Amino acid sequence: MALKKIEQRKKRISFWILVSISVVWVMPVIWVISTSFKSEMEAVSGGLNLIPRDFTLASYRFIFTDQNNNIFRYIRNSFIAAGTHTGLYLLVASLAAYGYGILQFKGRDRIFWLLLSTMMIPAVMNLIPLYAVMIRFEWLNRLTALIVPGLGGVFGIFLLRQFNLTIPKDLIESAKIDGASHLSIYLRIILPLTKPALIVVGLFSFMGNWNDYLWPLIVINDDAVRTLPVGLAIMQGNYTIFYSRLMAATVVSIIPVLALFMASQRFFIKGITMTGIKQ
């Protein structure tokens, strides 16, 4: 009984500490949202009020109608780049994961561990030579430069292969006895059974690509193909003194990822847990 009481008290203390830290944690976002609904006048008045005195949608109206504002083009470009990248990566990685997890061939494990060990190499070492490759391929200022090079990523293959290894061998053997080819085993058995892992890998490659900043900053100079993070960074320079508009743009930039997170929260948590227990 005493133990139960201690348990209850622990929960209560944890709860109140978490509440107080959470308030601090959400404050920056609340402050931004609040500013976006204020008039430019009120935004620079120095008031601490979170509820706007003269609530207005003017900044959002401006963001949606301003001819010089390209935020929706940036969002579209980001969707095209991240979406295409994710679709292709799921295909390439799941094929490879089948190769390293299900198929049996000479040198299989050696090749796979060699691949994994390359993850030790910091990406910074490849940055400049990869740019030189982009020049040679004439991929500068094209979304292709944001879509294709990342398809060589190893981590997704690693996660999918780990998942493949948990699939009962009997299932695959009996399909083979029934005369199924590897392609049909991959399509009919592995893909449906590894769906949760595919969703996790898909989410992370989408988010990674969507939020990438340094690489697009280097390879994309043309505003027509610019993606959201670099585009936003440039808007920060253009709207300097229009804080309310800037914050409205910030809120708009958050909405797509927020929607994705709401729709798939449990996969995010599952995915991060999967990566963390890798050792």
Q: DSSP class of residue 138? A: T
Amino acid at 68: N
Q: Which stretch binds another protein (CB under 8 A): 65-73, 162-170, 192-200, 250-258?
A: 250-258
For the segment 150-189, give every residue that binds another protein (CB under 8 A).
151-152, 154, 157, 182-183, 186
Query: Least distance (Å) from another protein to the CB of residue 40?
Result: 12
- Confirm or reject binding of residue 51 to another protein (CB under 8 A): no
Query: Least distance (Å) from another protein to the CB of residue 210?
Result: 7
For the segment 7-36, give every residue that binds another protein (CB under 8 A).
7, 10-12, 14-15, 17-18, 21-22, 25-29, 31-32, 35
Name which position in 41, 57, 127, 187 contacts another protein (CB under 8 A). Answer: 127
Name which position in 41, 57, 113, 135 contacts another protein (CB under 8 A). Answer: 135
- Give the nearer residue to another protein in terms of CB position, either 65 or 118: 118
Number of residues that bind another protein (CB under 8 A): 96
Q: What gap in Å lies between CA 89 and CA 156, rounded to an integer?
A: 8
Q: What gap in Å lies between CA 243 and CA 44, rounded to an integer?
A: 8
Name which position in 1, 65, 122, 179 contacts another protein (CB under 8 A). Answer: 122
Burial call 135-173: b when 16+ CB within 10 Å, e when fewer = eeeebbbbbbbbbbbbeebebbbbbbbebbeeeeeeebe
For the segment 203-242, give every residue that binds another protein (CB under 8 A).
207, 210-211, 213-214, 217-218, 228-233, 236
Dihedral sign for Cα 62, 65, 66, 68, please: positive
Contacts 24+ apart (CB under 8 A), 50-53: none
Question: Contact 207/198 with Cβ under 8 angstroms?
Answer: no
As a dihedral over the C-alpha atoms of residue 165, residue 169, residue 174, residue 177, rounded to 10 degrees, the angle is 90
Name which position in 1, 51, 121, 224 contacts another protein (CB under 8 A). Answer: 121
For the segment 68-107, give every residue that binds another protein (CB under 8 A).
91-93, 95-96, 98-100, 103, 105
Name which position in 53, 72, 109, 111 contacts another protein (CB under 8 A). Answer: 111
Tokens of 196: 């949760």
